[in-house]
Amino acid sequence: MRSKNELLKKIEDGYPKFSKGQKKLADFIRLDYDKAAFLTAARMGEEVGVSESTVVRFAMALGYDGYPEFQRALGEMVRMKLNSIQRMEVTYGRISQGEILATVLHSDIEKIKLTMEAIDHETFETAVNVILNARRIYVIGIRSCAPLASFLCFYLHLVCDNVIEVNTSSPSEIFEQMIRINEEDVIIGISFPRYSMRTLKALEYASNRKAKVITLTDSVHSPMTIYSSCNLIARSDMASIVDSLVAPLSVVNALVVSLCMKKQKEVITTLETLEEIWDEYQVYNKDELNMVGDKMEMPGARELSGEQEEAAQTEEEKYE
């Protein structure tokens, strides 16, 4: 909400000094900033009836370096305002059905590029070290962020002891699972617009218990940063019914790889032990399909004989 208030306040404060064209732009943005956020400078000029250069000068008069920075501020306002239905309408009003695949993929690529350029490497290293030194690691992500939390926990188990994925089916269960969190622990909170109040409350509780707090979110203005001094910022601002979580997932991958590199011996030992367990208990024998050349190999079939072997062969032929 702070981004929205800051931009509108700039417009309100500067309005008396604006030129006639700038006042037209100010009125347009105050009424239709959800639309304005998706317009180029030239297109906005056409909508309002001013030149492209007037639009650019207006952005700079508000204190922005140029139109792109101004447009990002508008986008921040839109993310805080639009609900899912409105976001879908805005997106599908801008692109045709035949352009969706390319548009979404290019947008995801852009989010990764922007994340790579903006993320603070010192903060990233701090997060890695905090996780390595924590007694217990709590991870929380709700709604669309839940898969990111689960993915992170899956790989953290290979590197660290006492990893706890906080179950989020009810607010009471969150605090029950975190009842023993203290200054020796860390919690990783993952939240993107529309932000989760349950995640925020979990971070508040952890902070009050002196636990270290790491956030993975989309902006320094995110409410998730209130209780955290270690904020990993990943861009996720596609204005559609589906938020782009590609860049956040890349940051999660980087965290896991960095942790593994710092604990190579332990990770190798863990993987070797797991391979032995999988072989001993035939975990993947009937659950894994391997390609050998241009044929599909079913590991369990080699251990069968007689009628069982024939049945396995028949099953294999279904996939050829």
Mean pLDDT, residues 151-157 taken together:
92
Report the CATH superfamily, name and number, of domain 120-266: Glucose-6-phosphate isomerase like protein; domain 1 (3.40.50.10490)
Torsion of CA 193, 71, 40, 89, to 10 degrees: 20
CA pair distance 27, 46, nearest whole angstrom: 15
Strand duo 163-165 + 137-141: pairing: parallel
Question: Are the CB atoms for 236 and 108 separated by under 8 Å?
Answer: no
pLDDT at 195 (0 to 100): 82
Contacts of 19 (CB under 8 A, 6+ apart): 54
Q: Which residue has the higher pLDDT, 66 or 295?
A: 66
Higher pLDDT: 256 or 194? It is 256
- Choose the most confident range, by mean pLDDT, from 93-97, 110-114, 239-243: 110-114
* pLDDT for residue 9 is more than 90: no
Under 8 Å between Cβ of 52 and 59: no
Q: What is the pLDDT of residue 256?
A: 93
pLDDT digits (tens, 9 = 90+) for 24-42: 998 888 777 767 777 788 8
Instruction: Choose among 259, 234, 258, 262: nearest CA to 247.
Output: 234
**Distance from chain centroid for Cα 14:** 35
Per-residue model confidence (pLDDT) at position 1: 35
How large is the C-alpha radius of gyration of the chain?
Answer: 25
Kindly write down the DSSP assignment for every residue of 95-129, as one continuous string. Answer: S-GGGHHHHHHHHHHHHHHHHHHHS-HHHHHHHHH
Q: How far apart are CA 137 and CA 160, in angstroms?
A: 8
Tokens read off for 320: 């050829």
* pLDDT greater than 60 at residue 104: yes
Asked whether 162 and 192 are in contact (CB, 8 A), the reply is no
Q: Which helix (H) or strand (E) holds 254?
A: helix 246-262
Across 40-44, 79-83, 245-249, 280-284, the highest mean pLDDT is recorded for 245-249
Question: Per residue in 40-74, is it b (16+ CB within 10 Å) or e — as a string?
Answer: ebeebbebbebeeebbbbbbebbebeebeebbbbb
Domain boundaries, the chain: 2-81, 120-266, 282-320
The confidence score (pLDDT) of residue 165 equals: 93
> Is the per-residue pLDDT at 96 higher than 50?
yes
Residues ≥6 apart with Cβ < 8 Å to 173: 167
The predicted pLDDT at position 177 comes to: 92
Residue 223's pLDDT is 85
Residue-wise pLDDT tens digits, 250-260: 999 999 999 99
CB-based contact 259:163 (threshold 8 Å) = no
Q: What is the per-residue pLDDT for 242? A: 64
Q: DSSP label at 229?
A: S
Closest to 160 in 3D by CA, of 231, 230, 263, 271? 263
**pLDDT score, position 106:** 81
Query: Which CATH number applies to 2-81?
Result: 1.10.10.10
Nearest CA to 76 out of 10, 22, 2, 155 is that of 2
- Position 158 pLDDT exceeds 80: yes
pLDDT band at 276 (very low <50, low <70, confident <90, very high): confident
Which range among 93-97, 205-209, 287-291, 303-307 shows the weakest confidence by mean pLDDT?
303-307
Say yes or no to pLDDT of 312 above 60: no
Residue 3 has pLDDT above 50, yes or no: no
- The average confidence (pLDDT) of the chain is 81
Of 76-85, 240-249, 299-308, which range is least confident? 299-308
Residue 158 neighbours by CB under 8 Å, 6+ apart = 260, 267, 270, 271
pLDDT at position 214: 97
Task: Grade residue 184 by pLDDT with cuts at 50, 70 and 90.
Answer: very high
pTM for this prediction: 0.64
Q: Which residue has the higher pLDDT, 317 or 24?
A: 24
> How are strands ordered across the β-sheet holding 137-141?
163-165, 137-141, 186-190, 212-217, 230-233
The average pLDDT across 119-134 equals: 95
d(CA 77, CA 95): 21
